[in-house]
Amino acid sequence: MADTNQTKKIMLSGIQPSGELTLGSYLGAIKHWPARTEEFDCYYFMADLHTLTVRQKPADLRKRTLTQLAAYIACGLDPKKNVLFIQSHVPEHAQLAWVLNCYTMFGELNRMTQFKDKSIKNNDNINAGLFTYPALMAADILLYQADCVPVGEDQKQHVEICRDIASRFNSIYGDVFKVPDPYIPPVGARVMSLTTPTNKMSKSDTDQNGCVYLLEKPEDIKRKFKKAVTDSDTENCVRYAPKEKAGVSNLMQIYSAFTDKSFADIEREFEGLGYGAFKAAVGETVADSVAPIREKTNELLADKAYLENIYREGAEKASYIAHKTLRKVYKKVGLVPRF
């Protein structure tokens, strides 16, 4: 279990560097992370091992991994207050994943919606890793005895299977793992596509006009918002109604997240102005708001020695905790200790 001297709860989260960070990732997760350092001991990692379920270009993966680390820091994650590391730098993730594979049922894995979704999108590469990734995800979480894992409403299934695996292991070997809870942010948890507002914004979207990237150039961000789908009604007014006006409501949520204005305030602000003026204003606000993040990220990427120091220190801190958990697991299942 976690150290008895620990006063804060542990929170852990990782994002795959399989593509650029999206506006959805920022508003739904990363934007809220810096404020949690007062309440939690936070571990944030680049989930590069998880990306391997889909073929990656090695040079691109390395670049995206470092860019994501720099973006985390640019978004306000202080490396002195948070443990920032690259998943593959802590081999205990893969080691524990194999053990947990042996305590994860085939039927549980077969029910995972992400496996079904990715199998459809990558039907020429339905590999074993794609099927068993929940065991690696459980290892990510359980290694650090995490109390809670921030996820979107649509990702609760990942934490649920982790809880099942941990509970099964604990029922056999005693109190080994802390059983984590999902932590769902009260706001900003689900940003939708700009072109298909009934779908979640995703970097894997085939229509790239639907996805806004955190580090995009301002002119590209504004262009995408100008093209954003609103509604086919004749009303042409800005009003929050998620079911009837999914496109406008999505834009209102994004605008609200950056301005802290209520939906009622937004409706009053754009009363009589129509969709065109509203979309332009949202694009301008988003572009201006994320510009400092883009600039800071590029500044950090230019200092490779600094980033290297951050991820090495992060790996050392993470490995210290992870190794203690793995050593206990190995002992419980009967593996002979190396030393």
Give the residue numbers marked as catalytic.
Answer: 118, 200, 203
Separation CA 44–CA 27 (nearest Å) = 16
274-301 and 304-333 are packed helices; what angle lies between their axes, rounded to 10 degrees? Answer: 90
Separation CA 199–CA 208 (nearest Å) = 13
Q: Over the Cα atoms of the chain, what is R_g?
A: 21
Burial class (CB in 10 A: 0-12, 13-18, 19+), 47: buried
Residue whose structure tokens are 């810096």: 34
Cβ atoms < 10 Å from Cβ of 198: 10
CB 282 within 8 A of CB 242: no
Q: For 215-269, give the DSSP string.
A: T--HHHHHHHHHT----SSS-------TTT-HHHHHHHHHHHHHH---HHHHHHH
Of the candidates 224, 188, 229, the one whose C-alpha atom is nearest the C-alpha of residue 209 is 224
Torsion of CA 30, 34, 35, 36, to 10 degrees: 80
Q: For 263-309, give the DSSP string.
A: HHHHHHHTTTTHHHHHHHHHHHHHHHHHHHHHHHHHHHHT-HHHHHH
CB 13 within 8 A of CB 149: yes
